[in-house]
């Protein structure tokens, strides 16, 4: 394992718990504003999260709705309109709610900055959604924290395709084993692993019980040391750079994460 040189962050579910009360509610308000009777409850939205990308999620859902537009171009146009409306509503929700980053995220980010470990964003979410979240969490100069930012608009194929991670590696000019991805979903893990990048999983609301294959470590969050596999030494303090490096060094000998 190379010395750790960069961390690549997923966004929704990983940096912040934005799906259930943020994106889902914004979609429902977009449906209402358009005069549509559709509503995504918590369970159905969890199923839709298997599809990466908001527009793609809308089109997937329309395929099983008898009251959706019958023609493909009409569905595409409606999905585009709904997604734009939903993004605006999501931004309003973020500004009103002040949704924080998940516990443990900011301390690890600050440690990266202090030790010269570069960071990147690798997400399927829209840039406007990312900007709204990061401005709320880190302020107007949030982009200064990251060496590379790749969003859904920047790739042709979304997770679980590895394109977002391949582009990040190219921009950073680093080999995969010098990088760690932090993810929360099976699709995100699959994308990183397909790019040969080691992955640490912080379980989120919607993927708390999901089957995860190929991660070098899985745990409840970066804020605590209990509950991680492989286990962390000590019981106090958040997950730090030394822990990530240790997991990377051990990954070849930990068969269940190979």
Domain span(s) for CATH 1.10.150.240 in the chain: 19-97
pLDDT at 256 over 80: no
Residue from 239, 254, 253, 258 nearest 7 by CA: 239
DSSP 20: I
pLDDT level of residue 252 (50, 70, 90 thresholds): low
- What integer is the mean pLDDT of 157-185? 97
pLDDT at 233 over 90: no
Mean pLDDT of the chain: 94
Instruction: Name the burial class of residue 60, with classes exposed (0-12), middle (13-18) and buried (19+) by CB atoms within 10 angstroms of its CB.
Output: middle
Domain span(s) for CATH 3.40.50.1000 in the chain: 6-16+100-257
pLDDT at 155 over 90: yes
pLDDT value at position 258? 42
1-43 pLDDT, tens digit per residue, is 579 999 999 999 999 999 999 999 999 999 999 999 999 999 9
Q: Which of 10, 61, 161, 243 is catalytic?
A: 10
Residue from 167, 191, 171 nearest 181 by CA: 191
Residue 67 designated active-site: no
pLDDT value at position 1? 52
Whether 211 contacts 227, CB under 8 Å: no
> Of the ranges 91-100, 132-141, 154-163, 221-230, which one carries the lowest mean pLDDT score?
91-100
19-97 CATH choice from 1.20.140.150, 1.10.150.240, 1.10.490.10, 3.40.140.10: 1.10.150.240
Residue 21 designated active-site: no
Q: How many CB atoms lie within 10 A of CB 214?
A: 17
pLDDT value at position 235? 77
Q: pTM here? A: 0.93
pLDDT value at position 257? 44
Residue 147, CA distances (Å) to 6, 111, 224 in order = 9, 15, 27
Distance, CA of 193 to CA of 187 (rounded, Å)? 10
Q: How many CB atoms lie within 10 A of CB 95?
A: 12
SS3 per-residue string spanning 71-105: CHHHHHHHHHHHHHHHHHHHHHHHHHHCCCCCCCH
* Residue-level length of the chain: 258
Distance, CA of 178 to CA of 1 (rounded, Å)? 7
pLDDT value at position 145? 98
179-216 pLDDT, tens digit per residue, is 999 999 999 999 999 999 999 999 999 999 999 999 99
Does domain 6-16+100-257 correspond to CATH entry 3.40.50.1000?
yes
Instruction: Name the burial class of residue 209, with classes exposed (0-12), middle (13-18) and buried (19+) by CB atoms within 10 angstroms of its CB.
Output: exposed
Q: Which of 12, 61, 184, 243 is catalytic?
A: 12
pLDDT value at position 118? 98
pLDDT at 174 over 80: yes
- What integer is the mean pLDDT of 213-226? 97
């Amino acid at each position: 394992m190379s010395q750790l040189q960069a961390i690549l962050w997923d966004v929704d579910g990983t940096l912040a718990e934005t799906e259930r009360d943020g994106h889902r509610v914004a979609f429902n308000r977009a449906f209402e504003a358009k005069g549509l009777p559709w509503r995504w409850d918590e369970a159905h939205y969890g199923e839709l999260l298997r599809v990466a990308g908001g527009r793609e999620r809308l089109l997937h859902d329309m395929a099983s709705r008898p009251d959706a537009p019958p023609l493909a171009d009409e569905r595409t146009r409606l999905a585009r309109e709904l997604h734009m409306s939903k993004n605006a509503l999501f931004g309003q929700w973020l500004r009103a709610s002040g949704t924080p980053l998940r516990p443990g995220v900011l301390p690890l980010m600050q440690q990266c900055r202090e030790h010269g470990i570069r960071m990147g964003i690798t997400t399927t979410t829209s840039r406007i959604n990312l900007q709204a979240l990061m401005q709320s969490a880190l302020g107007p100069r949030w982009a200064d924290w990251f060496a590379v930012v790749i969003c859904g608009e920047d790739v042709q194929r979304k997770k679980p395709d590895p394109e977002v991670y391949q582009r990040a590696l190219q921009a950073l000019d680093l080999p995969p084993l010098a990088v760690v991805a932090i993810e929360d979903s099976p699709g995100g893990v699959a994308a990183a692993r397909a790019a040969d990048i080691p992955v640490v999983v912080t379980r989120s609301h919607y993927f708390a019980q999901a089957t995860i294959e190929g991660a070098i470590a899985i745990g409840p969050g970066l804020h605590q040391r209990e509950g991680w596999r492989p286990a962390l030494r000590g019981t106090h303090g958040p997950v730090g750079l030394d822990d990530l490096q240790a997991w990377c060094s051990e990954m070849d000998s930990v068969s269940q994460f190979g």
